[in-house]
Structure 1
Amino acid sequence: MTASQIGETTLFVCTTCRTQLADAASDQPRAGARLLAAIETVPTEQRVGVAVVGVECLSNCNRSCTVAVTAPGKWTYVLGALDPDLHVADVLTFAQLHQRHEAGLPAWRERPEYIRKNTVARVPTLPAQR
C-alpha cells in the first residue's frame, strides 16, 4: 500500500498551551498558538499528507506544548514538551512518518530523537465495529 492510498494524518496542535515559564505575563501569543503558526508557515509541499488543525486544550498542561498525531485506523500519539522555536521540523517529520506507516507505528529509531524522548502517550486504534 502506498502513502497516498493510506490517507492523510491529522496533526492536532493545542493552541492554549503555555510554556513552562508562564506566557501569561507576556504580551506574546501562547506557545501553543506560536507552534501552530510556525507549522503553518512551512511550505505546503513539506507538509504533504498531513492536515494541521489547531484545537483548544489537549489536557497535557504539565508537559506543554502538546500535539496529537492521528489518522483513521491508526495509532494516535501525544507529544509534549515542545518548543515552538525548536521542534517544528521534528513534529512534521514524525507526522509524515506516521502518515506513511500503514498502522501509524513509525519505527522508533526513525523518529526524531526529541520526539522519542517526549512521547507522552500512544493510543491504540478503535476496534472495528461489528
Structure 2
Amino acid sequence: MPDQSGLSEAVLYVCTTCRASGDASTRTAGARLLTALRDQAADMAPELRVEGIPCLSVCKRPCTVAVASPGRWTYVYGDLDADASAATILAGIGLYAGTEDGIVPWRERPEAFRKGVVARIPPLASAQPDTDAS
C-alpha cells in the first residue's frame, strides 16, 4: 500500500444491506465484503477505520462503499465484488489517504474505482458567514 499517513483519519463505510443479484447466501454481499475488508485491513492497514452501515442508498449498484476523511473529498463506489474486491479497495483507499484533498488522478485509481464511482462529494466547509449574501 502506498503512503498510509492519512489512513488514521480516513473512514471506510461499507453498506451491509447490499445484496448482489442472484445472491443465494444467507449473509448479504455487503456483510461479506465488510468481513473481508476488516480481515485484510488488520494486516494491510490496521489504522484504517472500517465501519458497516445499514444503507448507502445505492441499491442498484451493490456492493457499495464510501470513503471519507476530514478536509478531503468523499467518494462513493459501487458495483464491487463482495468476494474479491477487498484488496483492491484497500489499495485504492491507500492512494486516497496519500493525497491532501482525496483526489487520486483517474488513471492511478484501481479499475474498480474508475468504473464504479457513484459520487464525489466536496469536503465539508467550515461554518463561516457568507460575505457575498445581501
Normalising by structure 2, we get a TM-score of 0.85
> What 5-or-longer segments of structure 2 have no aligned partner?
129-134
> What residue number does 1:36 align with?
34
> What 5-or-longer segments of structure 1 have no aligned partner?
none
Aligned length: 126
Change (3 A) 1:47 1:5: closer
- Answer whether contact 1:50 1:99 (CA < 8 A) is retained: no
Q: Distance in 1 between matches of 2:49 and 2:122?
A: 20
Deviation (angstroms), 1:44: 2.2
Alpha-carbon deviations, 1:8-48, whole Å to 9, x = none? 21000001100022x3xx35200000000111111524114
Change (3 A) 1:3 1:29: closer
> What residue number does 1:100 align with?
98
- Answer whether contact 1:66 1:78 (CA < 8 A) is retained: yes
> What residue number does 1:13 align with?
14
More helix by share: 1
Alpha-carbon deviations, 1:47-66, whole Å to 9, x = none? 14421011001000000110
**Largest Rg, 1 or 2:** 2
